[in-house]
């Protein structure tokens, strides 16, 4: 990431991701759905109650007995606890709420839950990461471990850390999730994209969060 | 729906040059891009940005389709008197978003 992009990310007034955080703040306080409750009705003041939450997701969900990502948890609260229409993955509302919640963990170290029920999904994510896929027969690891710091065309190859999500990506001209980022790389590999919220996507996210343990959350990050 | 982030120094000295920063939430849809259905997505851009300081225009800009989504505009002016800065963004349909900020000059 070049110095211009870094400067844009660091200045909350120039970082376009902050617009989404601002929108999330308004959504957090707005009563919706059959319950006419807002997120704040149950969770109170987000800077206190949501601090550190994003740093320990994906987590194990008791209700479905499966790993759940932060966006999935928010969909669950909105649909089941607020009685509102479940927000669309990659939709503006969910991205705003997710960036608002994740922003409350900015500068905190990623601390994946030490929950043995997550181990098999994490291992599945690790396997996916090093499996060759698609017509180009690349694995994630070949670029992001073996060639990190190099270039793919003009783009520097990063280490694939999930620290800044949802990110504002200049190429997208919009905010997007980690799982959208996966789909970008997968289509670059000419492999079948993994759908958002699927077990594979959450497994990859679990693995990457574990791999980035101790690194600081940057949400909302700006990326080229 | 649109929202803006604005930064005006809350206090400044008379005669001082102050930097003002604005970030507007807007898709800046060019009108040149086809959507999923092959039809062009209608143009939706901000065409004019104006900042007045106690009623006087201190900065204005004309925006075009090649400008990024969520345009960031920063400029400087001279702190003359305490008062109000009014920012307005007008889109190609004529809809105007207005936001204000106050400044204290000593």
Q: What CATH number should be reported for the domain holding residue A19?
A: 1.10.760.10
Cis, peptide link before residue A166, omega less than 30° from 0: yes
CATH number at residue B87: 2.60.40.10
Structure tokens at A71: 């966006």
- How high is the pLDDT of residue B36? 86
Are residues A83 and A133 located together in one domain of the fold?
no
Distance of alpha carbon A145 from alpha carbon A142, whole angstroms: 6
> Domain for residue B11, yes or no?
yes
Residue A93 sits in the same domain as residue A37: yes
Q: Do A19 and B5 touch (CB under 8 A)?
A: yes
> In this complex, do A14 and B21 lie within 8 Å of one another by their Cβ atoms?
yes
The residue among B7, B27, B23 whose CA lies nearest residue A19 is B23
Interface contact flag, A14 B28, Cβ < 8 Å? no
Which whole number is the average pLDDT over A188-209?
96
ipTM over cut 0.85: no
Q: Show the domain range for A50.
A: 3-103
| Residue A108 falls inside a structural domain | no
Rounded to the nearest integer, the mean pLDDT of chain B is 94
Domain range for B64 is 4-31+43-98
Indicate if the pLDDT at residue B100 is higher than 80. Answer: yes
> Is the pLDDT assigned to residue A165 strictly greater than 80?
yes
Both A92 and A175 in one domain: the answer is no
- Tell me, what's the pLDDT at A197? 94
Residues of B in contact with A14 (CB under 8 A): 21, 23, 72, 74
pLDDT the model gives residue A111: 98
Q: Which of B3, B21, B69 sits opposite A13 (nearest CB)?
A: B21
Rounded to a whole number of angstroms, the distance from the CA of B106 to the nearest CA of chain A is: 25
pLDDT score, position B1: 42
Neighbours of B33 (CB within 10 A): 10
Asked if pLDDT for residue B3 goes beyond 90, the answer is: no
Same domain, A97 and A126: no
Q: How close is the nearest chain A Cα to the Cα of B70, in Å?
A: 6
The pLDDT of residue B2: 54
Spatial distance between the Cα atoms of A175 and A91, rounded to a whole number of angstroms: 10
Q: Could you tell me if residue A109 is inside a domain?
A: no
Whether residue A69 contacts residue A206, with contact meaning beta carbons closer than 8 Å, is answered with no
Contact flag A19-B28 (C-beta cutoff 8 Å) = no
Please report whether residue B82 resides in a domain: yes
Place of tokens 């980022």: A181
Over residues A68-74, the mean pLDDT reads 98
Same domain for A99 and A154?
A: no
Residues in chain B with CB shorter than 8 Å from the CB of A19 are 3, 5, 23, 25, 70
The verdict on A87 and A149 lying in the same domain is no
State how many domains chain B has. Answer: 1
Residues of A involved in catalysis: 185
Per-residue 3-state assignment (H helix, E strand, C coil) for chain A: CCHHHHHHHHCCCCCCHHHHHHHHHHHHHCCECCCCECHHHHHCCHHHHCCCCHHHCCEEECCCCEEECHHHHHHHHHHHHCCCCCCCCCCHHHHHHHHHHHHCCCCCECCCCCCHHHHHHHHHHHHHHCCCECCCCECHHHHHCCCCCCEECCEECCCCCCCCCCEEECCCCEEECHHHHHHHHHHHCCCCCCCCCCHHHHHHHHHHHHHCCCCECCCCCEEC
Report the domain count for chain A. 2
CB nearest to B69's CB, from A13, A18, A173: A173
Work out the minimum CA distance from A14 to partner chain B, whole angstroms.
6
Per the domain annotation, does A20 fall within a domain?
yes
Locate the DSSP E strands across B1-106.
Answer: 4-7, 11-12, 17-24, 46-53, 56-62, 72-78, 83-91, 96-105
Give percent above pLDDT 90 in chain B.
Answer: 92
Same domain, A63 and A128: no
Smallest Cα distance from A154 to chain B, Å:
21
Is position B106 within any domain? no
Residues A30 and A120 in one domain: no
Is the CB of B23 less than 8 angstroms away from the CB of A173? no
Minimal Cα distance from B1: which residue of A? A23
- In this prediction, residue B10 carries a pLDDT of 87
Same domain, A78 and A132: no
**Per-residue confidence at A2, pLDDT binned at 50, 70, 90?**
confident
Is B38 a member of any domain? no
Average pLDDT value for chain A: 96
């Amino acid at each position: 990431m070049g110095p211009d992009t870094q400067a844009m990310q660091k200045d909350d007034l120039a970082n376009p991701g902050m617009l989404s955080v601002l929108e999330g703040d308004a959504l957090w306080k707005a009563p919706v759905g059959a319950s006419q409750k807002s997120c704040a009705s149950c969770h109170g003041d987000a800077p206190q109650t949501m601090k550190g939450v994003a740093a320990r997701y994906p987590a194990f969900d008791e209700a479905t007995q499966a790993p759940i990502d932060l966006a999935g948890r928010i969909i669950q609260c909105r649909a089941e606890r607020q009685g509102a229409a479940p927000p669309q993955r990659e939709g503006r509302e969910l991205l705003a709420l997710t960036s608002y919640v994740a922003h409350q963990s900015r500068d905190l170290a990623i601390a994946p839950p030490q929950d043995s029920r997550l181990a098999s999904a994490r291992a599945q994510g690790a396997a996916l990461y090093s499996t060759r896929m698609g017509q180009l027969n690349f694995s994630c690891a070949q670029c992001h471990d073996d060639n990190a710091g190099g270039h793919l065309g003009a783009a520097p190859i990063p280490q694939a850390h999930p620290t800044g999500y949802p990110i504002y990506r200049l190429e997208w001209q919009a905010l997007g999730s980690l799982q959208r980022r996966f789909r970008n790389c997968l289509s670059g590999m000419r492999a079948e994209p993994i759908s958002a919220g699927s077990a594979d996507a959450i497994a990859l996210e679990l693995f990457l969060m574990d791999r980035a343990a101790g690194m600081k959350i940057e949400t909302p990050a700006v990326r080229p | 729906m649109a929202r803006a982030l604005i930064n005006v120094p809350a206090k400044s000295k008379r005669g001082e040059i102050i930097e003002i920063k604005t970030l507007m939430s807007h898709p800046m849809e060019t009108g040149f891009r086809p959507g999923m259905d092959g039809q062009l997505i209608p143009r939706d851009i901000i065409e004019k940005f104006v900042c007045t300081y106690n009623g006087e225009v201190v900065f204005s800009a004309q925006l075009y389709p090649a400008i990024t989504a969520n345009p960031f505009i920063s400029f400087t002016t001279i702190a003359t008197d305490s008062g109000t800065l009014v920012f307005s963004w007008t889109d190609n349909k004529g809809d105007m978003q207005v936001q204000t900020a106050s400044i204290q000059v000593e």
